[in-house]
Structures are given as structure tokens and as C-alpha cells.
Amino acid sequence: MAQLLTLTGQLRLVGFALIVMGLVHTALPRILGWPADLRASSLLTRQVSYAHLVFIALTCALLGTLPLAFAPDLLTGAPLPTFLLCAQTLFWGLRWIMEFAYFSPRLWRGHRLRTGGHAGLTVLWTWVTAVFATASLHVLW
């Protein structure tokens, strides 16, 4: 259990969480009511929406596989792993910013499930970004 609190352990946990997030995307259209919302949209809009969903799910899963499978390698300080850590810090940090800068509070205020989702995602993106930032700083200094 104490090993989960190490930087290697946290990277692995983040990796696992990101893979789960990728899998959650398979249920996201039903959770968000996309079939009904997209029914009135053009075929192109529907297909682009679902195609983007698949690639976002795949991106989450693949970005999660790196720290889950290669956490010790990411902490070696070699140029490629250092770049990957810094890139993930930037990527997930921007996702954290989007939670506040792009998504309107009108989407979740007054709706229990969506408010819980917003709070949960805020915690998730904060943790993911903090772990990658800590790992990046660890190898850079």
C-alpha cells in the first residue's frame, strides 16, 4: 500500500485511471443523451461526434498505458521519457483549464449528476496534472 504513495505508484494509478476514463467513453453517449440530441443533426455531425469520441477514448487509454506499464522508465531522466512526462503535463493541464475556461457552469449547475461529474473531473484532472508535473520536475531537477 505504501508503494502506491511513491511517485512510481502514483504514475501507475494515474495510468490506470486514464485507461478507465477511456473505457468510460464507451458509455458517455448514453450518459449525456447524445442519441436524442444528435438525432436532429446531420449525418456528418453525428458521425464526426462519434468518431471524435472513439479517438478521445483511445487517446485516454494510450496515454494511460504509458505510466501504467512504464512508470520506472519514465522517471529515468532520459530525453524521451522526460519529453513524454512534460507533454502529458501540458496535455492534462490544458484539459484541467478547459474544465473552467470552456465548459459553462450552466451545463452542470442545478443538475446533481452533472455537478458531481464536474466536481469529480475537476479532482481527477487536478490529480493527473499534479502527478505528471511532479514527475516532470523530479526528472528535470
User: For 2-47, what is each residue's pLDDT tens digit?
Assistant: 787 999 999 999 999 999 999 999 999 998 899 999 999 999 999 9
What is the number of domains present in the chain? 1
Say yes or no to pLDDT of 1 above 80.
Answer: no
pLDDT at 2: 76
How many CB atoms are located within 10 Å of the residue 41 CB?
Answer: 13
pLDDT at 31: 87
Q: Residue 32 sits in which domain range?
A: 2-140
How many CB atoms are located within 10 Å of the residue 131 CB?
Answer: 24
**Which of 11-15, 53-57, 114-118, 127-131 bottoms out in mean pLDDT, i.e. has the lowest?**
114-118
pTM: 0.91
Burial of 74 (0-12, 13-18, 19+ CB in 10 A): buried
What does each C-alpha distance from 77 to 7, 57, 82, 100, 130 come to in angstroms? 14, 29, 6, 32, 18
State mean pLDDT over 75-80.
Answer: 98
